[in-house]
Amino acid sequence: MAAVDLTPKQPRKAYGGDGGAYYEWSPADLPMLGVASIGAAKLSLAAAGLALPSYSDSAKVAYVLQGTGTCGIVLPEATKEKVVAVKEGDALALPFGVLTWWHNAPTASSDLTVLFLGDTSKGRKPGQFTNFQLTGSTGIFTGLTTEFVSRAWDLPEADAAKLVSSQPASGVVKTSIALPAGSAKDREGMALNCLEAPLDVDIPGGGRVVVLNTANLPLVKDVGLGADLVRIDAHSMCSPGFSCDSAYQVTYIVRGSGRVQVVGPDGKRVLETRAEGGVLFIVPRFHVVSKIADASGMEWFSIISTPNPIFSHLAGKTSVWKAISAEVLQASFDTTPEMEQLFRSKRLDSEIFFAPPSSN
């Protein structure tokens, strides 16, 4: 594969107004999106902001980065919407054919900000989501003649024409209408809070991981993606590793910052950078990635382009080096038995995350 720019990038504003804005990453700015057929976008709603009902051309995972609000979801062939109260840390799996709307309460003290990551391989434009708005200036009914709309809705043509043109905004609006509140029943099986869920990995002084799977979020199986939330502590390291089942890893830095290195299968370093909150980057297939947090620590949300990814770590007690025979290790590094023993004696208790060396 020819060299592709892997530099982490911020999104660009696509549209918006008083109610908020919709931002997206495009393959023009982040070429790996097109290569991997992955879409990435972010919605930010001000108080009383409403993201109008829309369909998407891609299955995706939504992750609430900030605030509280509600999400309306109409599953394919459903006769009633589900209204889910959402808050920071919530992850939702949104399969093909789902209609959604998002709302931030008029009394909200902060924006409601939601990240979307998904598979665009079956979408209209590889590497970029296409949302089909039902209302507003870009709503699909604005393209039909008044006759067709009136016949479809069984309304007089004058009323149909008025209804289609009554919402002049596009995508995101501000509304004073009281919208439905979230239901605890509707939330069941639709959302998982990654900040409150049981930890899949917990390394004291190192880091923590929550993995989305079909057990804790059943709709993940319909989205076809794996996802996780990773938080590492100040100056901690995430072990060098890679997806050994030909998957892409798409990472959004939620907060904090740190250094990132990515190495290709030819042993050449293809990325060495410092990533801060708000940027997105993609690790290509069969590339090794490692991160070291700054003093602020580092938190990221990732999707992997397979529902059950298999990772191989190259350091720590679960690394391949602990499984390989001493003689092969010694021959591979062309080193002495003493160095081999020293190497093998390290990281016997650490896995995946490594706390910073203690200062004496």
Token pair listed for 314: 């190259």
3-state secondary structure 185-201: HHHCCCEEECCCCCCCE
> With the C-alpha atoms ordered 21, 25, 28, 30, is the resulting torsion angle positive or negative?
positive
Confidence of residue 113 (pLDDT cuts 50, 70, 90): very high
Per-residue confidence (pLDDT) for residue 352, from 0 to 100: 80
Q: Which CATH superfamily is domain 12-187 in?
A: Jelly Rolls (2.60.120.10)
Pairwise pLDDT comparison (149 vs 323), residue with the higher score: 149
Task: Read off the pLDDT of each residue in 122-126 and give the average, rounded to a whole number.
Answer: 93
- Is the pLDDT confidence value at 304 over 80? yes
What are the DSSP E strand ranges found in 95-154? 99-103, 112-119, 131-133
> Quick one: what percent of the chain has pLDDT higher than 70?
90
pLDDT > 90: what percent of the chain? 67
- State yes or no: pLDDT of 236 exceeds 80: yes
Model confidence at 69, in pLDDT bands (50, 70, 90)?
Answer: very high
Residue range 182-208, pLDDT digits in tens? 999 999 999 999 999 999 889 888 999
Residues 219, 199: Cα–Cα separation, whole Å? 20
Residue ranges per domain, the chain?
Answer: 12-187, 194-354
Tell me the CATH number for domain 194-354. Answer: 2.60.120.10
> What is the C-alpha separation between 31 and 37, in angstroms, rounded?
10
Residue 1 has pLDDT above 60, yes or no: no
Both tokens assigned to 217: 């979020």
Place of tokens 């990221």: 300
Q: Count of CB atoms within 10 A of residue 276's CB?
A: 16
Provide DSSP, 287-338.
Answer: -EEEEEEEEEEEEEEEEESSSS--EEESSBTTSHHHHS-HHHHHHHHT--HH
Task: Report which secondary-structure segment, H or E, holds 127.
Answer: none
* Lowest mean pLDDT segment, chosen from 9-13, 91-95, 209-213, 271-275: 209-213
- Residue 221: predicted pLDDT: 86
**pLDDT tens track for 29-68:** 999 999 999 999 999 999 999 999 999 999 999 999 999 9
What is the C-alpha to C-alpha distance for residues 239 and 354, in angstroms, rounded to an integer?
A: 7
**What mean pLDDT comes out for the span 104-124?**
96
Write down the H helix ranges in 154-268: 157-165, 184-187, 220-223
Asked if 94 and 119 count as a contact pair (C-beta separation under 8 A), the reply is: no
pLDDT attached to residue 307: 64
Per-residue pLDDT at 161: 94
Looking at residue 349, its pLDDT comes to 63
pLDDT in tens, 239-250: 888 776 667 889
Q: 12-187 with 194-354: one CATH topology?
A: yes
Q: What is the pLDDT of residues 262-292, one digit of tens each?
A: 998 888 999 999 999 999 999 988 898 999 9
Length of the chain: 360
126-135: pLDDT as tens digits:
999 999 999 9
pTM score, whole prediction: 0.90
